[in-house]
Homo-oligomer: A and B are copies of this chain.
């Protein structure tokens, strides 16, 4: 029997506002489409609606730029208030060149602008990454588990660029209910050779797969991945962060 995985977009989610019960909104949108969430599903939820529900929004008019932000504004031509927000979200700047600011966020993720985003929010407001995306994932997981009596995994996804390759892909920034990795290290292949390179970052692959049904401009901020055989665990997107001392490119 051929292994199969289905990726089902959850469309027609309402606009999300601070304080909204995201698990309830997702379940409602799923039901409205005649779908259901099943035991063993992986729910992939885009960061943007999580940040909105958690009120991780900043009105730029309330932001007082620091001297460092003002200096960075001169070098990049960007809004100093936006830069101030980016600096507050960052542990450090990894690279700043040609208008691109690659940051290490307080969570440890390396990405442009520390994940601070001006799109899909509204005039003069920027969204920040969730404060603790693993906890965000766990809250959704626990709420759905409680309401439906099923075990699922939840991935919070965001759109990141990467070195060496053009374009962006969706990756996991929060995780609950599964291990981020699928591990082949030490196993032997059919020829008896020990496989060397085989820890797959399946949480990132799930986020990327889900993006295939998420249209950035339509309202598909959630996808159900069904049929993927994952390793149940508490799980954390921190598993995906390479420690700085083991990273050849920081």
Residues of A within 8 A of B (CB): 1-11, 33, 35, 95, 97-98, 100, 102, 109-110, 112, 117-123, 159, 161-171, 180-181, 184, 187, 189-191, 193-202, 204-206, 208-209, 211-213, 215-217, 219-220, 225, 228, 239-242, 247-250
Contact = CB atoms under 8 A, between A and B. Distances in A.
A206 B212 contact: yes
Contacts of A171: 165
A249 B247 CA distance: 12
B191 A123 contact: yes
A165 B201 contact: yes
As for how many copies of this chain the complex holds, the number is: 2
Contact of A166 (B97, B201, B215): B201
Given A159-B200, A165-B240, A211-B200, A187 B95 contact: no
Contact of A10 (B2, B191, B242): B2
Q: Is the interface of A mostly helix, strand, loop or mixed?
A: loop
A249 to B, nearest CB: 4
Most chain B CB atoms below 10 A, which of A3, A181, A195? A3
Contacts of A166: 181, 199, 201, 239-242
A60 B228 CA distance: 38
Contact of A212 (B112, B117, B228): B228
Contacts of A9: 2-4
B3 A215 contact: yes
Closest 4 CB pairs of A and B: A167-B201, A209-B209, A163-B249, A208-B208
A5 B212 contact: yes
Most chain B CB atoms below 10 A, which of A123, A171, A200? A200
16 contacts: A4-B213, A6-B7, A118-B193, A163-B163, A164-B242, A165-B241, A167-B180, A167-B199, A168-B197, A169-B204, A170-B205, A198-B216, A202-B211, A202-B212, A205-B208, A205-B212
